[in-house]
């Protein structure tokens, strides 16, 4: 029984991880170089999905947490420039977002307010919903495959937001598993309380304590 409840609780923890939508947009200044990913005076927007309680692919306690993302869409002047796989790294200064399979191109923040975009340990982060402002740079590898980035600052007060993704209808199976996990927690708490009252039998009323030898 205890093993079953524990498994349900572990499974529900993963199921309760809710998808969130990360968005940001801005305009590159006229001083940036023309590259395959951006150019002078071009507008951009990024949309992606990240779980509220993701499983990191890499992390450093007190440093950063790298988490998987899905549904990546990177538009430049309204044209789809990248929508492939990627990952995002959160740290105390905001994020590092790869927008290329080899990570030759990234959007990097060098400041973020009102604070970090996640809470908890980097090994088990909680991505925090809300509105943010950040200082941003576009980092581009000019001579791949050598990872030598050239950085272009494109703003000091760029808006970004993290918000709950619109849930599917009807409710996905993960939601039911999440609710089942919550019920399992209640059942586990009740069983511990019952064991603490040795003379009470749940469902059968009070029992008479056993009488020892006289």
Q: What is the pLDDT of residues 74-133, one digit of tens each?
A: 999 999 999 988 889 999 999 999 998 899 999 999 999 999 999 999 999 999 999 999
- Residues in the chain, total: 214
Average pLDDT over residues 143-167: 92
The domain spans of the chain are 1-17+173-197, 19-164
3-state secondary structure (DSSP) of residue 135: strand
Supply φ then ψ for residue 101, to 5 degrees.
-55, -35
CA distance linking residue 95 with residue 116, whole number of Å: 9
Residue 131's Cβ-count burial label (10 Å; 0-12, 13-18, 19+) is exposed
Q: What is the pLDDT of residues 4-38, one digit of tens each?
A: 444 444 444 444 679 999 999 999 999 999 999 99
pLDDT at 182 over 90: no
CA distance linking residue 162 with residue 20, whole number of Å: 6
CB 112 within 8 A of CB 84: no
Q: Which residue did the predictor score with more confidence, 7 or 42? A: 42
3-state secondary structure (DSSP) of residue 152: strand
Confidence tier at 67 by pLDDT (50, 70, 90):
very high
Q: Give the pLDDT score at 165.
A: 85
Q: Give the pLDDT score at 85.
A: 86
CA distance linking residue 40 with residue 54, whole number of Å: 35
First to last CA, the chain: 37
DSSP string, 66-126: EEEEEEEEEEETTEEEE-S-EEEEEETTEEEEE-STT--EEEEEEEEESS-SEES-TTS-E
pLDDT at 178 over 90: no
Confidence tier at 172 by pLDDT (50, 70, 90):
low
- Residue 162 corresponds to which tokens in the numbers above? 């993290």
Q: Give the pLDDT score at 200.
A: 33
């Amino acid at each position: 029984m205890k093993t079953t409840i524990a498994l349900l609780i572990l499974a529900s923890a993963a199921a309760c991880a809710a998808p969130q939508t990360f968005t940001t947009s801005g305009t590159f200044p006229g001083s940036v170089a023309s590259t395959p990913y951006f150019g002078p005076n071009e507008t951009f927007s990024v949309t992606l999905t990240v779980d509220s309680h993701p499983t990191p692919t890499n992390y450093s306690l007190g440093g950063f947490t790298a988490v998987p993302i899905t549904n990546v869409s990177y538009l430049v002047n309204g044209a789809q420039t990248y929508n492939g796989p990627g990952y995002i790294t959160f740290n105390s200064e905001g994020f590092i977002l790869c927008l290329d399979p080899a990570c030759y191109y990234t959007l990097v923040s060098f400041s973020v307010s009102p604070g970090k975009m996640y809470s908890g340990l980097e090994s088990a982060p909680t991505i925090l919903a809300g509105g943010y402002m950040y200082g941003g740079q576009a980092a581009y590898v000019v001579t791949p495959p050598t990872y030598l980035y050239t950085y272009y600052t494109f703003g000091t007060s760029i808006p970004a937001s993290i918000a709950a993704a619109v849930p599917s209808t009807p409710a996905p199976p993960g939601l039911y598993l999440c609710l089942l996990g919550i019920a399992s927690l209640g059942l586990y708490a009740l069983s511990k309380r019952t064991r603490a009252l040795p003379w009470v039998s749940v469902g059968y009323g009070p029992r008479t304590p056993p009488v020892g030898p006289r």
